[in-house]
């Protein structure tokens, strides 16, 4: 059975002091051992947030550069975020795809760079509202899986989780229905089974990343292929984030 994974993506919110206070408040909560918790603060916060949390909380970076090192002013490598305390990284978030034009080749390079230093990956994918309404979403989701996992071997698969984030439900207050979310997650798992095998596909945790909140978490997390959540706005208040974790702990 797959343990639940609840990850908080703080995006470009909180200064260092606010981030440490938020991390401390989250660390003071409690939850069952069948739930893994990750917080992804801004890169500037990684080391101090790592100090502020207990061993039950993992730290994730929101982004990395694809090269090991070099003359890339302003960039941060996978090895650097590991040295600052991160053991996860987000790759392929819709905002990176949209605002920074991150394409499949770049995303694959980032995945490979992370795995090379044992940094676990949460690979994000999902469709736009136009793709959903035109019934193209199944092809979009399948293509985004193939972009990465056709180039991944079975041992590397163990270091990757997936976050399905319908772009039309991010920061909009809209949420995919449990049935819509489950269908998308099932498409993802089925395509993983096609590339690897069913046994390997069944091990991969697939998170829902479209405006999960305390008032919809239970229904979403009860779906057979939804193994957790990538939480945005609700992760910026400890009480809200801890409530979602508590629901996942049931």
Integer Cα distance of 164 and 220 in angstroms: 12
Strands 35-40 and 57-61, sheet pairing: parallel
Residues in the chain, how many? 250
Assess whether 179 carries a catalytic annotation. Answer: no
Q: Is 118 left (phi over 0), alpha (psi -120 to 50) or beta?
A: left
Residue burial 230-243, b: 16+ Cβ < 10 Å; e: rest: bbbbbbbebebbbb
Helix (H) or strand (E) segment spanning residue 113: helix 104-116
Question: 206 by DSSP, 3-state: which?
Answer: strand
Residue in 36, 165, 185, 191 annotated catalytic: 165
Assess whether 165 carries a catalytic annotation. Answer: yes
Residue in 36, 93, 185, 191 annotated catalytic: 93
Which residues lie closer than 8 Å to 141 by C-beta, 6 or more apart? 125, 126, 127, 164, 184, 187, 188, 191
Mind telling me the catalytic residues?
93, 165
């Amino acid at each position: 059975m797959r343990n639940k994974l609840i990850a908080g993506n703080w995006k470009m919110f909180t200064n260092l002091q606010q981030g440490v206070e938020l991390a401390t408040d989250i660390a003071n909560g409690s939850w069952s051992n069948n739930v893994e918790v990750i917080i992804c603060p801004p890169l500037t916060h990684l080391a101090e947030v790592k100090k502020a949390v207990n061993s039950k909380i993992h730290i994730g970076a929101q982004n990395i550069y694809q090269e090991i090192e070099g003359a890339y002013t302003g960039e941060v490598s996978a090895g650097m975020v590991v040295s600052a305390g991160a053991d996860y990284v987000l790759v392929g978030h819709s905002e990176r795809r949209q605002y920074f034009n991150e394409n499949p080749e770049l995303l694959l390079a980032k995945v490979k760079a992370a795995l090379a230093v044992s940094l676990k990956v949460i690979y994000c994918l999902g469709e736009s509202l136009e793709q959903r309404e035109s019934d193209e979403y199944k092809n979009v989701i399948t293509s985004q899986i193939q972009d990465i996992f056709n180039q991944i071997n079975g041992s590397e698969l163990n270091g990757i989780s997936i976050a399905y984030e319908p772009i039309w439900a991010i920061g909009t207050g809209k949420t995919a229905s449990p049935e819509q979310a489950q269908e998308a997650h099932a498409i993802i798992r089925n395509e993983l089974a096609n590339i690897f095998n069913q046994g390997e596909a069944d091990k991969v945790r697939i998170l829902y990343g479209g405006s999960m909140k305390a008032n919809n978490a239970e229904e979403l997390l009860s779906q057979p292929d939804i193994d957790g959540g990538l939480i945005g706005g609700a992760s910026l208040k400890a009480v809200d984030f801890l409530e979602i974790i508590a629901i996942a702990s049931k």
